[in-house]
């Protein structure tokens, strides 16, 4: 399995949108998304290189597997 690396926040938002999340707004420098059946809202800071720990935390919150993440990442590129 490929290694998780920091990516642009716009790509990360697009990945979660493809998985069914909806952008509900932006608070300061953070994009907030809602996904049905997620534990809580997804919060993504608007960084050019979103750190890996934020990606992992949001994957866990969204109940998304790493395999599914990499499939969607290939679609976004």
How confident is the model at residue 61, as a pLDDT? 95
- Please check whether residue 3 lies inside any domain of the structure: no
| pTM of the full structure | 0.91
Is the pLDDT score of 39 beyond 90? no
52: containing domain:
9-76
| Residue 61, in any domain of the structure | yes
pLDDT bucket at 37, cuts 50 / 70 / 90: confident
**SS3 for 59?**
helix
Is 1 part of any domain? Answer: no
pLDDT of residue 24: 96
Q: Is residue 38 part of a domain?
A: yes
Does 17 have pLDDT greater than 90? Answer: yes
Can you tell me the distance from the alpha carbon of 41 to that of 39, in angstroms, rounded to the nearest whole number?
Answer: 7
Total domains in the chain come to: 1
Domain harbouring 72, CATH code: 3.30.920.30
């Amino acid at each position: 399995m490929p290694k998780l690396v920091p990516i642009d926040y716009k790509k990360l938002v697009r990945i979660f949108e493809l998985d069914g999340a909806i952008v509900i707004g932006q608070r300061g420098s953070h994009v907030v998304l809602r996904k049905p059946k997620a534990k809580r809202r997804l919060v993504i800071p608007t960084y050019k290189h979103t750190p890996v720990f934020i990606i992992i935390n949001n994957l866990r919150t969204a109940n998304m597997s790493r395999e599914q993440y990499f499939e969607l990442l290939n679609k976004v590129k």
